[in-house]
Amino acid sequence: MRFEGKVAVVTGAGRGIGEAYAKGLAREGAAVVVAELDADQGERVAGEIRSAGGRAEFVPTDVSDESSTRAMGEAAREAFGGVDYLVNNAAIYGGMKIESLLKVDWNYYNRFMAVNMNGAVLCTRAVYKSMHERGGGAIVNQSSTAAWMGAGFYGIAKLALHGITHTLASELGWRNIRVNAIAPGPTDTEATRSTVDEGILQSIVSGMPLKRLGTVDDMVHACLFLLSDEASWITGHILNVDGGQVMRV
């Protein structure tokens, strides 16, 4: 129960890895704000956490909209008294367009970047004062190994998220707020399988040192570690959870 008495916001928590993050935090004692755009899925996850004996509230949230993220921060204060942890997981990924940067529809591109890149900034702005008032906290941003692979505008957004992680770690350190990121490799989720062809997935896995797809549990273990006091002297770090897909020196 590493997070008993703490409050965590998880964006994009209505399915996939975000849902697993929310439920993992709840299992270890945190009250969880399920910040999700899809009301049906958000209500479902919050309800399942409560049914399992945890505390959770669904808050409808569009991470690309400043007024929506501010309302999310206020709702967290009202429901649970404030915020200790933030997981910036929300992203356009499952079923996303895979197109050339030179040809992708410009409105789609701007919406994509507003969610996948700027959403982490807006959500952090919405909760960091509450974290500071409560003595500090921790933030985990959801990146991807695509950041190092020239993987189109998705990779660009994730690479930018690394810069955001480093900058926020520098800006928030004096407030005792740590900021790190997780870069998952290919992970067995509905979103991945709806986006990446099975043959391509198997080709990627065959070239990795640990020859299997990642699981949501692999990501949850890493996320909870980075949020916990066990990582109290770690900030500005990008943690690959990828079976050795990307090895950096």
Contacts of 167 (CB under 8 A, 6+ apart): none
Give me the catalytic one of 21, 93, 128, 154: 154
Q: Tokens 């500090």 belong to which residue?
A: 136
Q: Which helix (H) or strand (E) holds 84?
A: none
Which own/partner contact pairs does 165-174 have at CB distance under 8 Å and 24+ positions apart?
165/141, 165/236, 165/238, 166/236, 168/121, 168/124, 168/139, 169/235, 169/236, 170/236, 172/124, 172/128, 172/139, 173/235
Where does residue 101 rank: exposed (0-12), middle (13-18), buried (19+ CB within 10 A)? Answer: exposed
Active site annotation includes 108: no
Contact assessment for residue 145 and residue 159, using Cβ atoms and an 8 Å cutoff: no
Catalytically annotated residues: 154
